[in-house]
Structure 1
Amino acid sequence: MDLQKALQTIRTDTLKPIYLVVGSETFLQDQVREAFLTRFSVSKDDLNFATFDLEKDAVDLVIQEAQSLPFFGDQRLIFVDRPFFLTAEKKSNGPEHDLEDFVNYIQSPEPTSVMVLFLLADKMDERKKITKQLKKAAVVIDTAAMKEQDVRNYLQQTMTNDGIEMTREAFDLFLRLTDLQLTKAMQELQKLRLYAGDGRKITKEIVQELIPKTLEHNVFELTSDVLKGNVSEALRLYDDLLLQGEETIKINAILISQVRLLLQTSILMKVGYQQANIAQTLGIHPYRVKLAMQQTRGLAAEDLARLYDELIENDYQVKSGQMDKTLLFQLFVLRHGKSRK
């Protein structure tokens, strides 16, 4: 069930005994939590509300809670977080779960309890018996990461409602710095809300000032500068990263990963793959592929392959102690900048 329909049914319809909320967007899962809490009119210390973490609590405790009669009410609400046994993930330090008892419960749940399981992952292990039984018994609510256009539409509507005006350049940068993740974007949007409170327009420069960059974001820009032959900009950014305490070896490793992605994208584009096909083949978010496709425009796969080989060789020389890591990286930027010119 899609999120909007699920929220509506939670607010107005007769509730089912078991719900399974699956997806990687924390922001969307929190909306489901709030809808249930509002429907039950309970606080987090209410006697008819309980929450469990299955990486710490045994599932037997959940069953016991679900089988208990509510206190002065018709139903009790139970939140169950991190049911990792629905995925292929294995936990070495977690509690022992008696899943047979849990399967028996979900096949015949108590009508006086509403159990909501929250799985913060986009995929379940469909081969497991518990997964198959739970999907049959529960109302499954989808909170998976949205597609790019859906995230754009959601954020644009939110900003319109909040009276935030943002330039197109600023909006594109905001999406990139929040990795097109709705949860992260909604958290960072609060800063822009405060800035725009006096009717000020959000520009690209304001986004750069207010939204923090990760090392990966900085290396993305460093890669762009190297590919364009912008030597001074690349060296300045590299020096800034060193001043921030980043290690050359780590910068080089992320740069290798980025160039590898560009090379793979270039090769797949050459044989006719589109954005969605490339994302599926490489197992990455389509937005990352979109950015890679933009970066590879006008670049031959052979040039990217030589650049990749050079980065690998530099990594080997540094780790084997043959060259000074800072000098080698600077020479790499200068050499590639000269070749691009």
Structure 2
Amino acid sequence: MASDFYKEKEHAFITIGRDIKEGNIPSLVLMCGKEEYLIRWYSDVLIKKYVSEACMPIDLVILEGENATVDKIKESLETVSLMSERKVVMLPDFSPVAGKEIKGFGTAEIKELIDYFEMIPEGSMLLITYSEQQETKSKKSKIKTAVEKIGRVYDFQPLKDGQLKSFIEKRFNLAGKTYAASVINLIMSESGYGNKAIEYSLYNLENDLKKIIAHSGNSSEITAADVSDIIAANPENNVFAMLNAIGRNRKDEAFRLLHNLLDAGTPIFNLLRLITNQLELILSVKEMKDEGLKISAIQKTLGVHQFRIKKAMAVTGLYSMNDLKCALCAAYEVDENIKTGLLEGHLALEYFISKI
């Protein structure tokens, strides 16, 4: 779920785009967050902007692992660039940003680096990146706090609906393709982007968009068929369909969908996490819907894409609040039974469907 802070602020890609245009990029930059694609994209943008391609081997210094010592960082920053606008020193995937100590970079070294931040030469830039892959944000580190005061932090979180729509449209436009609004909505709905229970990032989405464009061939238009042929029904959609079938007392259909997921190679615990995730979402949406909240208000509160909320709403009428709570308890019980070895995974999931 997106944090309240994130929902109240403009996305980092808008901020950095404006800063680049206005020439407001300082000598100390930290790019972090969960969307690694955007971190790498804008790191490349800054490097291409400030470092001459001909002088890249000299004016771009990438320090990682045991090479990322305070002394080497200082030495690299204080070496004047050859012909570039700036000398760029990059610390990629620098885990001390998350408060983690690494070999050769403990508490003393972190303090020394922070003390040096204010002494970075005007013609140099220290670019630090760190991708937060955990579901919950790491505790803010001293490095991040210092960068916020002295330089600039760009925290790249997952795209919201409007931003995701623009991301897709931009790639189709660059390919010279036309498309209906329903095609964009289909991609946003079926891709699974924004669901933490599915490992589907902007890297996956861009790859699928390239495949969709290629699939359309010489046609000037991207069609729903192009999308459906490339983006196979993701596990999330099948789980929603399975819960829908259970709610309609169609256990035979639910069992068929379960075995389709298992036969497709969906790992047991991934599938169970999806089931739990969807039940929690349906329960939350039902509670808010019963309170009279509209989709926009529910989306703002839960911080998930509207397409997932609409899918959840379609299922809420099939379950009472008590049914959903019992189903969630059953899912938690299945998880425990599998982990303790009481039941084998496939059997435990079949038992779950038969029980609710």
Asked whether the two chains share a fold, i.e. TM above 0.5, the reply is yes
2:187 to 174, 179, 194: 174
Instruction: Tell me the distance in 2 between the aligned counterparts of 1:44 and 1:53.
Output: 20
What is the aligned partner in structure 2 of residue 31 from structure 1? 41
Equivalent residue for 1:133? 146
- Structure 2 residue corresponding to 1:120, chosen from 131, 142, 147: 131
Counterpart CA distance in 1 for 2:258 and 2:296 is: 33
Shift of 1:111: 1.9
Q: Which residue is 1:186 aligned to?
A: 206
| Partner Cα separation in structure 2 for residue 232 and residue 17 of structure 1 | 62
Question: Which among 47, 63, 70 is matched to residue 74 of structure 2?
Answer: 63
Counterparts of 1:277-316 in structure 2, within 5 Å, are 285-287=304-306, 290-291=309-310, 293-298=312-317, 299-312=319-332
**The one of 63, 88, 98 aligned to 1:77:** 88
**Post-superposition offset of 1:55:** 8.7
1:163-182 Cα deviation digits (max 9, x unpaired): 33445554333223141454
Deviation sequence 1:244-290 (CA, Å, 0-9, x none): 344656634532342233224323444566667767876x6455862
- Whole-angstrom distance in 1 between the partners of 2:54 and 2:32: 24
Aligned residue in 2 for 1:106: 117
Gaps of 5+ in 2: 1-9, 195-200
Q: Shift of residue 293 of structure 1?
A: 4.0
TM-score, normalised by the number of residues in structure 2: 0.74
Offset of 1:109 from its aligned partner? 1.1
- The worse-fitting range, judged by mean Cα deviation, of 52-61 and 194-203 is 52-61
Which segment is superposed worse, 197-206 or 97-106? Answer: 197-206
Query: Which structure is larger by alpha-carbon Rg, 1 or 2?
Result: 1
Q: CA deviation at 1:211?
A: 2.2
Q: Which amino acid aligns with 1:189?
A: L
Change (3 A) 1:85 1:162: same
After superposition, residues 268-279 of structure 1 pair within 5 angstroms as 268-271=288-291
Q: Deviations over 1:278-336 (max 9, x none)?
A: 67876x64558625642443232122123334445556666777777656655654676
Distance 1:318 1:65, change over 3 A: closer
State the match for 2:30 in structure 1: 20
Indicate the residue corresponding to 1:42 in structure 2: 53
Matched, 1:259 2:297: no
Tell me, in whole angstroms, the C-alpha distance in 2 between the residues paired with 1:320 and 1:103: 46
Q: Letter of the aligned partner of 2:280 in structure 1?
A: R
> 5+ unaligned residues in a row in structure 1: which ranges?
337-341
CA RMSD of aligned residues (A): 3.9
Alignment of 1:210-249 (within 5 A): 210-212=230-232, 215-246=235-266
The alpha-carbon deviation at position 189 of structure 1 amounts to 0.9
Secondary structure of the residue aligned to 2:214 is: helix
User: Any conservation in 1 of the 2:216–2:226 contact (CA below 8 Å)?
Assistant: no
Deviation at 1:222, TM superposition (A): 2.7
Change (3 A) 1:79 1:271: same
Tell me which moved more, 147-156 or 238-247. Answer: 238-247
Q: Would the aligned equivalents of 2:68 and 2:91 in 1 still touch at CA under 8 Å?
A: no
For the Cα contact (< 8 Å) 1:170–1:205, is it kept in 2? no
DSSP 3-state at the match of 2:58 = coil
| Alpha-carbon distance, 1:85 to partner | 2.8
